[in-house]
Structure 1
């Protein structure tokens, strides 16, 4: 199967119609937010327990859990957002705090009094120097990331602010509130630019498209989602079909015409903006783009291209696409995190699974067994418990030593590289120093150098017989640590051995294990060793 990048003009082939996997944590609490890591290898989830949970993006097994926004009175992770540079993560909590995290999930800093109520949404500026927060205290705030300080407070909503977003390329903010309003803001002046009154109930999500920057998607408890064109400052599409309030919305990262929404009844719908998919008997409508009077033409009505009516048994709080666009993750009030993908070529059996037709109908058709489903869920929970027990051991390591769930042995013998700030040791050796080689008597060394003592050849291979080649003398030890060059000179002179001119070099001091014949030429085999104006070769 080709990735979505290879089929940019076929968004219908990317619709995630098939259930891939489901995961549930040991706490069995609602999942309020799901976010893929920037490289797509893991899925990060946050819930009512105030914990982060990491799930493997390939095997979908549990990797690790860590406290994030835990409080005995108000625990809960309510929002997450990765920076555009992928090097920082910010999270908002139920009690109004905002925390900074590194990709290895070390908690770096905390803004305890960011808001007076729950932080419902977060968004980064295009430069990553500032970020925007929305809260149930009716305000939005712009924070300086480095200074950890609030630069501006945006006031104008009359009720809880449920969502916000920062335009990916422009200095433009958007927010949605419980007062049914969608507002646009200028981040430089903190002034409200305009207000849209299209929705008739709480606005639950506001998201700019990252592919087509002129489009804004919103969802609401009025059972609809809408798409606005910023150039016209009006809604061009109204997405219908949901029978309950729409609680979440997300754009596909590659296809600008694919929008996915989740509802409070657990249904998951996928819309194609260029395919109305009208039910039989419905009068078709035209897009404002095709009308001679676009300003006064009603928005085009779009119905789902695909419906997963029983995706969850509770409210779908959060949706997030894998960066490659082939897997959609959903987090729900039913405590489950589920993964959805494209169907295999020619596969149609998914249309009869319990997520499309319900458990009772699937059991009647033989595509799902209630007893097997319970046993499978029990086995999955046992597996998650085992994975969690194994992963908790990693959390006891010194911070910064390794990524969660990945054990890395310390680098021995290198200062500041074993995670503890001190010099480590090699595995299996410990702190015991290896034994030193036996020392050689200076008199014997002098005799060998003067060729007055027979050379011992028994430690070398047999002679090669090459004319003019003689084996080097056997060195049965090393000079002592207190070896004296002057004493060696006297012994060699008494035996009639002449030393080279200018030996030893001026300023030369004896070093353990170095032969005195190095002279001023540097180390054997290195011609001059380089100079001050010549670097090492590449």
Structure 2
């Protein structure tokens, strides 16, 4: 009987639902809810497409799961299905393995090729998949993994890469036989063969919108081709060793290349020159992958098993995962939503990586305590956001400043975010704030002097209770001021009766006897100034 185990799952449904709700009232990024660095803010997370202005929210450096086949062999290529529900891996044994895209469990295995699988690609209409192997064969597959056509003599040697054009009417392939071929997809016939590389062609990619191909090979060259005429348009001579990967950016202007010289280069076809070089890998760069939504964000894999996360405009990697795999990383694939990254390696494993949730810390064995915060909590990208706030470092150790009433839970306040450190020796920001004296101790208020009431005998407790009750009584009313007589109203102004008090006795007016006066009737008013008496 199999033992039930709890399997970790990563689901993007909640973020998509939240995004659809915010679309009803959100105008632009200014109305977006800011993510605080607390676990409670995970309910406000949105898909990666919602954070187009901040690629740091899509850094997939958090390890999720490792998938391993029973037949231990190298994973040469990985590819997500168009709906993102499954991942397809192509192995050295020629097998397709389907893994669940949320719980990462095994679903199906299929013997697809007789030799090692080297390349796989989906058409843009999501209906067809094309794969190539070491024997030079190219096969067509439907979305249900039904093989409908096979061309076993497409190339004389290994098929290294495949790519579809925008209309899906044609696709291209490259091989170790030094050729790049353009194929008619419907007839599965070769239209033209592009010869210009002097050695093996390791990678090829079709332009997102134009009839333009880019290829890289063992002759250290990156070439641009016209797919209609088959002519070579230009060559880049930037690399000093074999070019292993070439990738078009979604904007159609940038070409990313990498090779055995451990350098990643970015070319702009508008100016036909190199824009930037990315250095950091210590071994051959074997895999590249652009993020599906963030134009400037890409990930690279190396021969030593490391994975680096880069941003265009930054020469150094934003995140380094030096021990992502135990052997070379052969392929990288982004989930269509952009929240998961899959890597296939020569160590026979397929690993899944996801983005961090708010409040997560990089404490696993694959990360070296690197900052992967959201929004303004990322120190590398906080200055890029409009209207950002200064970033404060959180207290690192138990001996750091401590705010009374809060725990030492990484300096965070639930529902608020990162707590600003309390400075004890320097004034806070502002002219009206003052620094706290060093003699002032932070913490709970001191206890009253004397022993605790529970330690006293009953007589002492009663005596102390009487003293406390006397001290808590209301103080006596203050004495009337000495000029109270002067504050009385003048005698010629009568006192108005109080509605709830008895009427005070009144004196009879001058010149009249007390018997003739009616105490209930008020006396006549004195004459006004300037008025003659009658």
Show the counterpart of 1:183. Answer: 223
Alpha-carbon separation, structure 2, partners of 1:46 and 1:273: 30
Aligned residue number for residue 356 of structure 1: 367
Distance apart, 1:246 and its partner CA = 0.4
Task: Name the CA distance, whole Å, in 2 between partners of 1:122 and 1:266.
Answer: 24
Q: Secondary structure at the match of 2:202?
A: strand
Instruction: Name which of 314, 327, 347 aligns with 1:314.
Output: 327
Q: How is 1:67-106 mapped onto 2 (pairs within 5 angstroms)?
A: 67-70=111-114, 75-106=115-146
Q: Deviations over 1:155-182 (max 9, x none)?
A: 0101110000000101100000011100
The answer to whether structure 1 residue 36 and structure 2 residue 76 are counterparts is: no
**SS of the residue 2:57 aligns to:** helix
The answer on 1:156 being equivalent to 2:169 is no
CA distance in 2, matches of 1:345, 1:17: 14
Which residue of the partner structure matches residue 47 of structure 2?
A: 3
Distance between the aligned counterparts of 2:340 and 2:276, measured in 1? 25
Which consecutive residues of structure 2, in runs of 5 or more, have no partner in the other structure? 1-44, 370-534
**What's the counterpart of residue 292 of structure 1?**
none
Residue ranges of structure 1 left out of the alignment (5+ in a row): 277-301, 359-538
1:323 matches 2:336: yes
* Greater share of residues in helix: 1
Q: Which residue of 2 aligns with 1:265?
A: 304
Counterpart residue number, 2:295: 256
Correspondence for 1:535:
none
Please state if 1:26 is matched with 2:65.
no
Task: Tell me by how many angstroms 1:355 deviates.
Answer: 1.9
Deviation at 1:353, TM superposition (A): 2.1
- 2:148 is aligned, of 90, 97, 108, to 108
Q: Deviations over 1:14-38 (max 9, x none)?
A: 1111001110111110000000001
Q: What is the CA-CA distance between 1:356 and the residue it aligns to? A: 2.9
Equivalent residue number for residue 198 of structure 1: 238
CA distance in 1 between partners of 2:80 and 2:328 (Å): 20
Query: Would the aligned equivalents of 1:12 and 1:272 in 2 still touch at CA under 8 Å?
Result: no
Distance 1:16 1:125 in 2: 29
CA distance in 2, matches of 1:106, 1:344: 38
Whole-angstrom distance in 1 between the partners of 2:202 and 2:368: 32
CA distance in 2, matches of 1:228, 1:43: 31
**What does 1:496-507 correspond to in 2, within 5 Å?**
none
Measure the CA separation in 1 of the matches of 2:156 and 2:177: 6
Determine which of 209, 220, 234 is the counterpart of 2:273: 234
How big is each residue's C-alpha offset from its partner over 1:388-427, in whole Å with a ceiling of 9 and x where there is no partner?
A: xxxxxxxxxxxxxxxxxxxxxxxxxxxxxxxxxxxxxxxx
Deviation at 1:357, TM superposition (A): 5.2
Q: Is the 8 Å Cα contact of residues 310 and 357 (structure 1) preserved in structure 2?
A: no
Residue 62 of structure 1: which of 86, 99, 106 is its match?
A: 106
Q: Secondary structure at the match of 1:206?
A: strand
Deviations 1:332-360 (A, max 9, x none): 00001000011121111x2x4222359xx
SS in 1 for 2:153: coil
Does 2:330 align with 1:303? no
What's the offset of the Cα at 1:11?
0.3
Maintained 8 Å contact 1:96/1:112: yes
Structure 1 SS opposite 2:220:
coil
Where does residue 528 of structure 1 map in the other structure?
none
Does residue 1:170 correspond to 2:214, yes or no? no
- Please give the alpha-carbon distance, in whole angstroms, between the structure 2 residues aligned to 1:154 and 1:205: 18
SS of alignment partner, residue 367 of structure 2: helix
Aligned equivalents of 1:53, 1:129: Cα separation in 2: 27
Number of the residue aligned with 2:252: 213
Correspondence 1:339 to 2:341 = no
SS of 1:356's equivalent? coil
CA contact (8 A) 1:162 1:178 kept: yes
CA distance in 2, matches of 1:5, 1:148: 36
Q: How far off its partner does 1:186 sit?
A: 0.5
Q: Contact between 1:252 and 1:259, CA under 8 Å: does it hold in 2? A: yes
For the Cα contact (< 8 Å) 1:54–1:62, is it kept in 2? yes
Deviation per CA, 1:482-505: give whole Å up to 9, x if none.
Answer: xxxxxxxxxxxxxxxxxxxxxxxx
| TM-score, normalised by the number of residues in structure 1 | 0.60
Q: Hey, what's the Cα distance between the residues in 2 that align with 1:272 and 1:175?
A: 23
Q: C-alpha deviations, 1:140-159, integer Å up to 9, x for none? A: 11111111111100101011
Residue pairs, 1:482-497, within 5 angstroms: none
Does the CA-based 8 Å contact 2:61-2:367 persist in structure 1? Answer: no
User: SS of the residue aligned with 2:135?
Assistant: coil
Whole-angstrom CA distance in 2 between matches of 1:223 and 1:155: 27
CA contact (8 A) 1:120 1:133 kept: yes
Question: 1:531 — aligned with what?
Answer: none
Counterpart secondary structure, 2:49: helix
Matched with 1:373 is: none
**RMSD across aligned positions (CA):** 1.1
Runs of 4+ displaced beyond 6 Å: none
